[in-house]
Amino acid sequence: MKHIFLFHCLIIMGLSGLAQQRALVFQTDFGLKDGAVAEMKGVVYSLSPDVPMFDLTHEIPPYNIWEAAYRLQQTAPYWPPGTVFVSVVDPGVGSARKSVVLKTRTGHYFVTPDNGTLTLVAKQMGIAEVREINEAVNRRKNSGASYTFHGRDVYAYTAGKLAAGKITFGQVGPRLPDTVVTIPFQRPEYARDTLRGNIPVLDVQYGNVWTNIDQQTFARLQAEPGDVLKVVISSGGEQVYSGTMPFVNTFAAVPEGKELLYLNSLLNVSFAVNMGDFSSRHHVKSGPAWTVVICRQ
């Protein structure tokens, strides 16, 4: 009986240790053509082989901080509190930009350069605390001579230690003011029977155009399925598209090749062509400079 008791204790202790391992999610603009992502994961695995590692994406367009910010906002709410995200889209590597870890009010952690990547999750999930990474203790051993791969030497290393429970959040480094670098953009708003918003990203596989106008804001227009709405899309204040389209619930509600306005899987207003590519047809792209205006016909 004594041996059985000890065996159960060991199982419980083992499960408790596993419970301390947080999921670690990677996002970069590195692509998968070389070994950069594998190097980052190798650093984490060397710290603790028990940390579960996942990929958000490694196909962020090169240097596109804004899209990195959007993909974090899109994805993070579906992961449990305690998840650690590493986002490395860092055109300013080696510059004076800070290396930080953001803890949100939802209990998620984001390890990244403070270069605008945190713009949207800070707003969406709230800022609980921001700490600057102390590279004197939270940097891969003997990596000081490398100035161009902080994703491996600083961010993956710090995130791995945090996810493995080898450091607490307080041991990341000194606390900073509860602010992060942000990228300006048009927030969703309704005024005088008109909706305004931003085009943060494209549904790149199909060419659909996603806006940041959420379902609640859209509801203020009091549009019903079948209503025809006027849409104007601009970039940097210059009009790129002006037209009308029906608000519908499904793509099949319009004939093939026709344009439509719908709520996407995130319940945000979007534009598409049934069995076609809206963004290519009208040369619409995305980013903080892209805006949209919607009103009744």
In a domain, residue 7? The reply is no
Element (H, E) at 292: strand 290-296
- The CATH number of the domain holding residue 283 is 2.40.30.90
Q: Return all residues near 293 (Cβ < 8 A) that are at least 6 apart.
A: 194, 195, 196, 231, 232, 234
Element (H, E) at 40: helix 36-47
In a domain, residue 229? The reply is yes
Q: Return all residues near 106 (Cβ < 8 A) that are at least 6 apart.
A: 77, 81, 125, 126
> Within 13 Å of residue 122, how many CA atoms lie on the same side as its CB?
21
Q: Is the pLDDT of residue 278 over 50?
A: yes
Pairing of strands 290-296, 53-57: unpaired
Quote the pLDDT of residue 9. 47
In the block, tokens 């670690």 appear at 24
Q: Distance between CA 198 and CA 236 in Å, rounded?
A: 11
Same-domain status, 79 and 208: no
Q: What is the pTM for the complete model shown?
A: 0.85
Same-domain status, 207 and 77: no
Quote the pLDDT of residue 29. 96
Element (H, E) at 230: strand 228-235
Element (H, E) at 190: strand 189-191
CA angle at 188 for the pair 186 and 193, rounded to the nearest 5°: 115
Q: How confident is the model at residue 144 (pLDDT cuts 50, 70, 90)?
A: low
pLDDT tens readout for residues 118-138: 999 999 999 999 999 999 888
pLDDT tens readout for residues 205-245: 999 999 999 999 999 999 999 999 999 999 999 999 999 99
Quote the pLDDT of residue 12. 46
Same-domain status, 120 and 197: no
pLDDT tens readout for residues 4-40: 544 454 444 444 444 468 999 999 999 999 999 999 9
Q: Distance between CA 249 and CA 49 in Å, rounded?
A: 46
pLDDT tens readout for residues 65-120: 999 999 999 999 999 999 999 999 988 776 778 999 999 999 999 999 999 999 99
Print the domain residue range for 211.
Answer: 189-296
pLDDT tens readout for residues 164-212: 999 999 999 999 999 999 999 999 999 999 999 999 999 989 999 999 9
Q: Return all residues near 52 (Cβ < 8 A) that are at least 6 apart.
A: 21, 23, 24
Same-domain status, 259 and 115: no
Last residue of a domain, one of 137, 153, 176: 176
In total, how many domains does the chain have?
A: 2
Quote the pLDDT of residue 297. 82
